[in-house]
C-alpha cells in the first residue's frame, strides 16, 4: 500500500524542488512545516499551499542553526506528529571551479548540505521511532556517485548524505521508519539557472516532484533519476578509475 502523508516537513521549500514538493503535497487535511532563508519567497509558497487547503507553518531558519531548527521542529511535531520529513535544503556555490582558492566555500557547502541534513533529521528521528512509523527523505544528487571535474565540495557533500541515508535505512527499518535517498540529475531551478556546464537530460521541478513523491509513497531506498544521467554515472562508477578520469578529461 502506498504511504499517504499528512504532516510533512520540507526544508528548502522557498524555491525549486522543495517549493514544488510543498505545492504538490498541499491539500485539505495536510499540515506542512516549510523552511528556507528568504522569508519573502517562503511566505509566497506558504500562501500558495494554503490556497490549496493545507495548514502551513513557514519559518525562515538557516538549517545550519542547529538549536533554532531543533526547537521549531520539536514544537511542530508536538502539535502535528510528523510522518514525512524531507531534508532538501542545499546550496551549490563552487560551481565550475572547485574552490581550492577559497576553502570557506568548501566548508560552507558541507555545513549546509551535510550538517543541515543532520540538523533536520536529528530532532525528529527518535520521535518517529517511538511512534513506529514515518518516512525520512534526504536529498542527495547523482553528483554524489563519482568525483566530477567541477563542484568538488558539492559532490562530496552529496556523497556523504547519500551514504548516510542508505546506512540509517537499515537501523530504522526495525522501528518501522522508512528512509529514502533522493538522487536527482539536473532539474530546472534557481540552483541550475547559471550553471556554467552542460546539463544533459535537464527536467522540470514538477516532473522531479512527481518522481520523488511516488518513490516516497513506496518507501524506495533510492529515488534516482533520470535514467540517462543515472546510466552515465553508473558507468563512471564501474569503469576503472583511470578510464573514468580520462573520459571526464583528467
Ligand X SMILES: NC(=O)c1ccc[n+]([C@@H]2O[C@H](COP(=O)([O-])OP(=O)(O)OC[C@H]3O[C@@H](n4cnc5c(N)ncnc54)[C@H](OP(=O)(O)O)[C@@H]3O)[C@@H](O)[C@H]2O)c1
Note the residues at the interface with ligand X (CB under 6 A).
Answer: 11-18, 35-38, 41, 62-64, 88-92, 112, 116, 139, 141, 184, 186-187, 189-192
Closest by CA position to 64, among listed 126, 110, 7: 110
CA gap 37, 1 in Å, rounded: 36
Cα–Cα distance measured from residue 91 to residue 108, given in angstroms and rounded to the nearest whole number: 9
Q: Give all strands of the β-sheet with 135-139 in edge-to-edge order.
A: 55-60, 31-36, 7-10, 84-87, 135-139, 178-184, 222-225
The distance of closest approach from Cβ of residue 89 to ligand X in the complex, given in angstroms and rounded to an integer, is 4
Q: Are 189 and 17 in contact (CB under 8 A)?
A: yes
Identity of the residue, 110 or 129, whose beta carbon is nearer to ligand X in the bound complex: 110
Q: Is 150 a catalytic residue?
A: no
Q: How far is the CB of 121 from ligand X (least distance, A)?
A: 14
Cβ 233 to ligand X shortest distance, Å:
11
Q: How far apart are CA 51 and CA 22, in angstroms?
A: 12
Q: Between residues 90 and 178, which has the closer beta carbon with respect to ligand X? A: 90
Residue closer to ligand X (CB basis): 54 or 87: 87
Q: Which of 25, 150, 154, 170 is catalytic?
A: 154
Residue ranges of alpha helices (H) inside the chain are 16-25, 39-51, 66-79, 103-110, 116-131, 152-173, 205-217, 227-238, 241-247
Q: What distance in Å separates the CA atoms of residue 34 and residue 18, rounded to the nearest whole number?
A: 9
Count of helix runs (H) and strand runs (E) in the chain: 9, 7
Tell how far CA 167 is from the center of its chain: 16
Are 92 and 154 spatial neighbours (Cβ–Cβ below 8 Å)? yes
Provide, rounded to whole angstroms, the least separation between the CB of residue 40 and ligand X: 9
Tell me whether residue 129 or residue 202 sits nearer to ligand X (CB atom): 202
Rounded to a whole number of angstroms, the minimum distance from the CB of residue 174 to ligand X is: 28
168 or 203: whose CB is closer to ligand X? 203
Which residues have a catalytic role annotated? Answer: 154
Amino acid at each position: 500500500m502506498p504511504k499517504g502523508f499528512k504532516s510533512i516537513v520540507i526544508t528548502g521549500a522557498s524555491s525549486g524542488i522543495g517549493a514544488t514538493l510543498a505545492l504538490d503535497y498541499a491539500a485539505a487535511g495536510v499540515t506542512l512545516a516549510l523552511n528556507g532563508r528568504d522569508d519573502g519567497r517562503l511566505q509566497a509558497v506558504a500562501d500558495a499551499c494554503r490556497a490549496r487547503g493545507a495548514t502551513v507553518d513557514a519559518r525562515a531558519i538557516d538549517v545550519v542553526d542547529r538549536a533554532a531548527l531543533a526547537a521549531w521542529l520539536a514544537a511542530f511535531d508536538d502539535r502535528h506528529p510528523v510522518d514525512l520529513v524531507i531534508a532538501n535544503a542545499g546550496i551549490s556555490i563552487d560551481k565550475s571551479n572547485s574552490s581550492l582558492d577559497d576553502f570557506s566555500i568548501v566548508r560552507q557547502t558541507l555545513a549546509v548540505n551535510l550538517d543541515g541534513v543532520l540538523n533536520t533529521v536529528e530532532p525528529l528521528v527518535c520521535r518517529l521511532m517511538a511512534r513506529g512509523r514515518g518516512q525520512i527523505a534526504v536529498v542527495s544528487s547523482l553528483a554524489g556517485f563519482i568525483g566530477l571535474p567541477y563542484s568538488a565540495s558539492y559532490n562530496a557533500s552529496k556523497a556523504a548524505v547519500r551514504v548516510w541515508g542508505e546506512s540509517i535505512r537499515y537501523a530504522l527499518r526495525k522501528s518501522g521508519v522508512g528512509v529514502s535517498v533522493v538522487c536527482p540529475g539536473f532539474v530546472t531551478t534557481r540552483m541550475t539557472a547559471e550553471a556554467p556546464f552542460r546539463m544533459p537530460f535537464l527536467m522540470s521541478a514538477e516532473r522531479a516532484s512527481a518522481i520523488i513523491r511516488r518513490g516516497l509513497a513506496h518507501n524506495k531506498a533510492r529515488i534516482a533519476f533520470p535514467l540517462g544521467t543515472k546510466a552515465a554515472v553508473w558507468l563512471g562508477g564501474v569503469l576503472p578509475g583511470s578510464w573514468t578520469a580520462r573520459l571526464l578529461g583528467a
